């Protein structure tokens, strides 16, 4: 994955090294599952004690968008990647049938 293929922002907090590493690993996994030449825009925001995560994957083949909220950054991370992973899986089923 090229650095210009992804924009990752954190608003309202600074993630720990462990959180950042876990997100990077998951983004690399998603990049392998996404359509070729995909661009990722990922934002994690902390507002009034609630974390929100949003991911948008843009490609010529298809676009994918997911937004989630949770009380913890780990909850947001896991929900976000689970839901976008499911969208990518569904896309592949339709594409390769």
Residue spans of the chain under pLDDT 50:
1
Whole-prediction pTM value? Answer: 0.89
What pLDDT sits at residue 94? 84
What pLDDT sits at residue 5? 86
Q: What superfamily in CATH does domain 3-91 come from?
A: Ribosome hibernation promotion factor-like (3.30.160.100)
Measured from the Cβ of residue 51, the count of other Cβ atoms closer than 10 Å reads: 21
Return all residues near 26 (Cβ < 8 A) that are at least 6 apart: 77, 81
Measured from the Cβ of residue 63, the count of other Cβ atoms closer than 10 Å reads: 13
Return all residues near 36 (Cβ < 8 A) that are at least 6 apart: 59, 61
Domain boundaries, the chain: 3-91
């Amino acid at each position: 994955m090229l650095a210009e293929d992804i924009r990752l922002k954190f608003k309202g907090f600074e993630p720990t090294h462990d959180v950042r590493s876990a997100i990077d690993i998951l983004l690399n996994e998603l990049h392998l599952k996404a359509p070729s030449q995909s661009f990722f825009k990922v934002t994690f925001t902390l507002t009034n004690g609630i974390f929100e995560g949003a991911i948008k994957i843009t490609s010529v083949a298809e676009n994918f968008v997911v937004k989630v909220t949770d009380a913890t950054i780990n909850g947001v991370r896991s929900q976000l990647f689970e839901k976008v992973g499911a969208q990518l899986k569904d896309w592949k089923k339709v594409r390769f049938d």
